[in-house]
Amino acid sequence: MPSMLDQTMMLTPDGVRFVAIHPKVVETIRGWVERGSQSREAGGILIGSYRGDHVEVSGSTVPMERDKRTRGLFDRMDRGHQEAAMQAWRSSGGTESYVGEWHTHPEAHPSPSVLDRWTWDRIMRRVREPVVFAIGGWDSCWWGIGAGARVEVMRMLSSGWDIV
């Protein structure tokens, strides 16, 4: 397991909560960003654990067969994502599970669309804990955290990929 120094470290806007993102998660997101006129969005869930006020993102799923992928949309429809979260829960003795969502945008510096924010609002209504959201682009990755009814941009403390 990577040390804390090897991870991308984010700080929430209130300065209270840290989010640690394992390098393999960053590489997974980066690996699914497509360029070109035929590019399609990709995505999955983020798997990790809550450690007091902090979140550790240690894994992710990737697009699966039943997911819907178009140039302007990723719709997570395959039950394999839920099964991966449940498997993480079982194998960790109940310490790891779903902590968020990631997807890509076919642009250099992504930011949330109206549809992204609407989808995240629906997710946050069902989840008690803070939820981590990531959007990967060609040159950077947007990271946010949602709690209650708001999603706020997180501030990067260390990373191997530009974060906006």
Instruction: Indicate which residue of 27, 34, 41, 152 is catalytic.
Output: 41
Examine the residue annotation and report whether 41 is marked as an active-site residue of this protein.
yes
Q: 53: alpha, beta or left, given left = phi > 0 and alpha = psi -120 to 50?
A: alpha
Structural domains of the chain in order of their starting residue, each with its CATH number: 4-158 (3.40.140.10)
Banded pLDDT at 37 (limits 50, 70, 90):
confident
Q: Over the stretch 60-114, which tens digit does the pLDDT of each residue have?
A: 999 999 999 999 999 999 999 999 999 999 999 999 999 999 999 999 999 999 9
CB 32 within 8 Å of CB 111: no
Mean pLDDT score across all residues of the chain: 90
Model pLDDT, residue 5: 47
User: Which pTM does this prediction carry?
Assistant: 0.91
Distance CA 84, CA 79 (A): 9
